[in-house]
Amino acid sequence: MNLKSALLGAVCAFAMAPAAFAERGTDGEVKLTFPQAVSIMNPYLSSGTKDIFAASMVIEPLAGFDDTGALVAKLVSEIPSVANGGISEDLTSITWKLLPGLLWADGSPVTAADVIFTGQYCMDPAGGCAQLSKFDGIKSIEAVDDMSVKITFNGPKPNPFTAFVGSTSPILQKAQFEACLGAAAPTCTDQNSMPIGTGPFKVTGFTVNDTVSMEANANYRDPAKPAFAAAVIKGGGDAEGSARAVMSTGEFDYAWNTQIPPDSQAAMAAEGKGVFVVAFGTLIERLEMNMTNPSADLPEGERSTTKHPHPFLSDINVRKALSMAIDRHTLTEVGYGAGGTPSCNIVPAPALYASDNTGCLTQDIEGAKALLETAGWVDTDGDGIREKDGKKLSILYQSTVNPIRQDFQALIKDWWTEIGVETELKAIDPSVFFGGDAGSPDTFQKFYADVEMYANNFDGTDPEAYLTQYKCDKAPSPENQWQGENMNRFCDPAYDAMVAELSGTRDEAKRAELTKKLNDMVTKDSFVVVPLVHRGTLSAHSNALGGVKINAWDSELWNVADWFRVK
């Protein structure tokens, strides 16, 4: 075979390739099931993941994140950068250029006016927009021309990829939502349940908290996609039932959030009809140590405030010993199986920002005992509980009602009892614990306990706002109606200074370095936060569904246009 025929062959193969791919709508229907049913298709009025994921099949942002956390252009021709002139030199503005010829599902053109309108919609003070923080620091959004939008910020913004980026901030069609600004937003039921979008699918039927029916969007920008002609999301039931519907009975192609006990995971995976896929974002199950005294003997309004330091948790040796006594591998195995991995960081990902802090991964009961011993915490009266200066190591450890958390509490209580720390457990209904009611003593902000356990994460790939939460002035207190995010009442001027430095830093490598330092300051240097498990979201898809790329940085259904039927 000579060069010419080889080349010809290559050309032919190249020409034939598109034909080998599925055309739009040739693969029938794709069926998804969510354990929590979809309530609304407008992410600006809901912060529920189920709603955001479902909406991401229909309405799209200008750009999204791929499975590695990198930005991908969706409705724009390129990702703006300082190099291509999209971001101004002083970082105070960003200009997005819409794809030419882009159409809404109803056939009308997408223009800059739609983007500007979406900004107005969310920033309206009466609208109660759930994604308002994405629009923080925006001075103006204006059209440069019909197809480009310029966002100007109040000051330099090192990370301008918040508004209109990611599935939480999609573009709404102005024509459809025009009458829904401000206080009218919640009353637009039809718009909120059947938004017109640019995504691969369009809504054809919506029953609240039950089913979303969709069909392929005839005006989708890639004429060959989506491969499926229709899609349906059925909600309700529980994680076990959803997993079963994909992995055992094969009624569904994809199930989101199938976090089930590790033994059930193994049993279902063994049936061989589907696979579990896990996306690790930034969700960390952690213990938060109370640096202030939660004692009920203190007058109301002074409990768990910075007025009274904690009698023994203010001693770093105690906090460190408590962390050393924990076997994070056992916890992960018991609670999450493939859906978790042990961790010592509060910023576990993206890789660029994750500290190489692994010191906590090995359990060291003897070391913990010795540490307490040398710090002067000894059991003098022989009741198995250590004390010092008349203060007993007796901990109230609270969390929410959740079978995995109760398992964790029991295991950790055993380990702590072993090192001579008395532990009392408390489980609070999650709607109370996270409810933020200033009148309730059981909220996680009030923290009327010594140690509490829950999970937290940050949105997107930039941890700055998340790390800001541990600043001194973010501590919940009676003065701010207990609405802070610094549950530990941790306060270190050096930390605050470094956070300020981070927000003024633009260089990526330098930001990563600062992030790692901040992460270490609250974890391995002070043991104020004791991370336990890096949790992923576990989903399942059948072997008959191809193209799934699980994504922790954006909607899991971010590439649903590329999904196809395996034949």
Partner 1 sequence: MLTFTLRRLLLAIPTLLFISLIIFLLVDLAPGSPMSEIPLTVPPEVRKKMIEALGADQPVFVRYILWLRQFFWVEPANLIDGWFGTNLVGGEQRILSWQSRSPVFTVIGQRIPQTLTVIGTAYLVGIAIAMPIGIYSAYRQYSVFDQIGTLIAMIGFSVPTFFSGTLFIIVFAVWLPWLPTKYDTTLAVTDWSSFLQQLRQMAMPVMVLALANAAAISRYMRSSMLENMGQDYVRTARAKGMTERVVVLKHVLRNSLIPVVTVIALGIPSIFGGAIITENLFGVNGIGAALIGAIHANDLPMVQTLAFIFAVLIVVFNLIADILYGLLDPRIRYE
Count of beta carbons in the 10 Å neighbourhood of residue 122: 24
Alpha carbon distance 304, 310 (integer Å): 8
Instruction: Among 435, 478, 546, 547, indicate the residue that binds partner 1 (CB under 8 A).
Output: 435
Exposed/middle/buried for residue 301 (C-beta within 10 Å: 0-12, 13-18, 19+) = exposed
- Mention every residue, 6+ apart, whose C-beta is less than 8 A from residue 491: 291, 306, 472, 475
Instruction: Among 440, 503, 505, 543, indicate the residue that binds partner 1 (CB under 8 A).
Output: 440
Q: Any idea which residue has 């336990």 for tokens?
A: 532
**Shortest gap between Cβ of 189 and partner 1 (angstroms)?**
4
The answer to whether residue 539 forms part of the interface with partner 1 (CB under 8 A) is no
Alpha carbon distance 144, 257 (integer Å): 42
The answer to whether residue 45 forms part of the interface with partner 1 (CB under 8 A) is yes
The answer to whether residue 205 forms part of the interface with partner 1 (CB under 8 A) is yes
Alpha carbon distance 360, 367 (integer Å): 12
Residues numbered 500 to 529 that lie near partner 1 (CB under 8 A) are: none
The answer to whether residue 433 forms part of the interface with partner 1 (CB under 8 A) is yes
- Select 96 or 353, whichever has its Cβ closest to partner 1: 353
Residue 278 CA from chain centroid, whole number: 14
CA distance readout (Å), 71 to 81, 161, 382, 463: 11, 9, 60, 16
CA angle, 45 then 48 then 53, to 5°: 100
Helix, strand, coil percentages in the chain from 3-state DSSP, rounded to 5 = 30, 20, 45
The answer to whether residue 233 forms part of the interface with partner 1 (CB under 8 A) is no
Stretch that binds partner 1, among 107-115, 235-243, 381-389, 522-530 (CB under 8 A): 235-243
**Shortest gap between Cβ of 172 and partner 1 (angstroms)?**
15
The answer to whether residue 231 forms part of the interface with partner 1 (CB under 8 A) is no
CA distance readout (Å), 308 to 134, 141, 381, 525: 36, 47, 27, 22
The answer to whether residue 154 forms part of the interface with partner 1 (CB under 8 A) is no
Residue 109, preceding bond cis, omega within 30 degrees?
no
Instruction: Among 156, 158, 262, 436, indicate the residue that binds partner 1 (CB under 8 A).
Output: 436
- Select 485 or 492, whichever has its Cβ closest to partner 1: 485
Instruction: Among 53, 447, 458, 470, indicate the residue that binds partner 1 (CB under 8 A).
Output: 458
Instruction: Among 431, 500, 510, 566, indicate the residue that binds partner 1 (CB under 8 A).
Output: 431
**Shortest gap between Cβ of 130 and partner 1 (angstroms)?**
6
The answer to whether residue 33 forms part of the interface with partner 1 (CB under 8 A) is yes
**Shortest gap between Cβ of 232 and partner 1 (angstroms)?**
7
**Shortest gap between Cβ of 78 and partner 1 (angstroms)?**
28
The answer to whether residue 152 forms part of the interface with partner 1 (CB under 8 A) is no
Q: Got the DSSP string for 235-250? A: E-S-HHHHHHHHHTS-
Instruction: Among 23, 238, 424, 508, indicate the residue that binds partner 1 (CB under 8 A).
Output: 238
**Shortest gap between Cβ of 445 and partner 1 (angstroms)?**
9
The answer to whether residue 472 forms part of the interface with partner 1 (CB under 8 A) is no
Q: Which residues pair with 34 in a beta bridge?
A: 235
- Mention every residue, 6+ apart, whose C-beta is less than 8 A from residue 279: 67, 536, 537, 539, 550, 551, 552, 556
CB distance 318 to 373 below 8 Å: no
The answer to whether residue 207 forms part of the interface with partner 1 (CB under 8 A) is yes
Q: Which residues pair with 142 in a beta bridge?
A: 150
The answer to whether residue 127 forms part of the interface with partner 1 (CB under 8 A) is yes
Exposed/middle/buried for residue 59 (C-beta within 10 Å: 0-12, 13-18, 19+) = buried
- Mention every residue, 6+ apart, whose C-beta is less than 8 A from residue 8: none
**Shortest gap between Cβ of 431 and partner 1 (angstroms)?**
3
Stretch that binds partner 1, among 39-47, 86-94, 326-334, 550-558 (CB under 8 A): 39-47
The answer to whether residue 187 forms part of the interface with partner 1 (CB under 8 A) is yes
The answer to whether residue 555 forms part of the interface with partner 1 (CB under 8 A) is no
Residues in binding contact with partner 1, number by CB under 8 A? 64
Alpha carbon distance 95, 140 (integer Å): 12
- Select 35 or 200, whichever has its Cβ closest to partner 1: 35
**Shortest gap between Cβ of 497 and partner 1 (angstroms)?**
22
Residue 355 CA from chain centroid, whole number: 19
**Shortest gap between Cβ of 54 and partner 1 (angstroms)?**
12
Instruction: Among 142, 373, 379, 437, indicate the residue that binds partner 1 (CB under 8 A).
Output: 437
Contact residues toward partner 1 (CB under 8 A) are: 33, 37, 39-40, 45-49, 125-130, 132-133, 183, 185-187, 189, 192-193, 205, 207-211, 213, 232, 234-238, 241, 244-245, 248-249, 251-252, 429-437, 440, 442, 456-459, 465-466, 483-485
